[in-house]
Amino acid sequence: MEKDVTIYDIARELDLSPTTISRALNDHPAVNKKTKQRINEAAEQMGYRSNLFASNLRKQHTNTIGVIVPRLNSPFMSSVIAGMEKIANEAGYNLIISQSLETLEKEKANAKTMFDSRVDGLLVSLSYETENLDHFESFISRGIPLIFYDRVAEHNQCTSIVIDNLQAAHRATTHLIEQGCTNIVHITGNLKRNVYADRLKGYKYALIDHDLPFSESNIIVNSLSEEAGEEAAKQILKMKSLPDGIFVSNDTCAVSCIKALKREGISVPKDIAVIGFNNDPISRVIEPNLTTINYPGYEMGELAVKVLLLQLNGTSDNVSSNTVNLRSELIIRESSLRSKASSKKQAVFV
């Protein structure tokens, strides 16, 4: 195996001092243009790779930002990461991305890897299993910026970036009620996480506001995967009283549920109106098109990195609160339109 080419190798090849080589490769004004060009050409021909990691360590930063996501195979998370990467790259930073696969142990391992990699800051969306933040204490105690997004936990030294999930769920459930639904099933994820706990609260409050009874039997908690959507449809079809509305906490599960119900002869929205969450591309492919909450993932990713950069630059006073709320929208499509009076193709309610 060939050894990496060093500045000393280039110096011997060109009969110059290692100091001159180093300065030229770092575009130092003390080295004239002709010599710089000669050195850079030799470095390229010899296969020299600059050790940016070591150089950045000397400067006390690595120009890298760590990102921990629950799962990478999520349209929402892909959108968030795209927003993060845009702002990070514009600021001269790279992302190191890992996934917890919804487990605490993997999240702990990811956090340690990020810390050992000396990332300048960390962006985290918590796993289903996370109940405390002990494994992030090494970041917090050393003043390394730590920002939670989407799935968050309260900490007075960390910023959280979210949407108002309670309000969004209340709006979605209210829309179903306004379409004449009185027996609404809510399919949601692990209630340890803020996003799902808050969406359940919003669903409950909408029922209360419209004098409709709440029933635990109408709550289905699962992984919100495609397979979980099919299983939820089977549970719904076995219910003593078939619901007339379903509010699902993501689009993947909602679309899968609709497909399974349609295979069993259920008409959507005539028999059961359905609403999803996230406004993933799949919501516009399913027939009928899925009513959903537009969750601004790209904007969330952009904002998360912007806030982290403010903290890295010592200007975090510009962030007025530990929690930053983004706006969401209810996008109304055919899957929830039961009443003829509301049968316009699409509407958006902020």
pLDDT digits (tens, 9 = 90+) for 74-113: 889 999 999 999 999 999 999 999 999 999 999 999 999 9
pLDDT at res. 164? 95
317-to-156, 234, 265, 310, 312 alpha-carbon distances in Å: 14, 51, 57, 8, 12
DSSP per position, 263-304: HTT--TTTT-EEE-SB--GGGGTSSSPPBEEE--HHHHHHHH
At 344 the three-state DSSP class reads: coil
The span from the CA of 133 to the CA of 283, in Å, is 34
- For the chain, give the percent of residues with pLDDT over 70: 91
Please say whether the beta carbons of 67 and 97 come within 8 A. yes
55-to-39, 94, 96, 144, 161 alpha-carbon distances in Å: 19, 15, 18, 19, 33
DSSP H helices, 93-193, are 104-116, 137-141, 165-178
Go through the domains of the chain in sequence order and give each one's CATH number.
Answer: 7-50 (1.10.260.40), 63-163+297-326 (3.40.50.2300), 165-296+330-349 (3.40.50.2300)
Residue-wise pLDDT tens for the chain (350 aa)?
A: 557 788 899 999 999 998 898 888 888 888 999 999 999 999 888 888 766 555 555 556 789 999 999 999 888 999 999 999 999 999 999 999 999 999 999 999 999 999 988 899 999 999 999 999 999 998 998 889 999 999 999 888 899 999 999 999 999 999 999 999 999 999 999 999 999 999 999 999 999 999 999 999 999 999 999 999 999 999 999 999 999 999 999 999 999 999 999 999 999 999 999 999 999 999 999 999 999 999 999 999 999 999 999 999 876 554 545 889 999 999 999 999 987 534 444 455 54
The predicted model scores a pTM of 0.79
- 2 Cα distance to chain centroid: 41
pLDDT at res. 314? 78
The span from the CA of 179 to the CA of 330, in Å, is 14
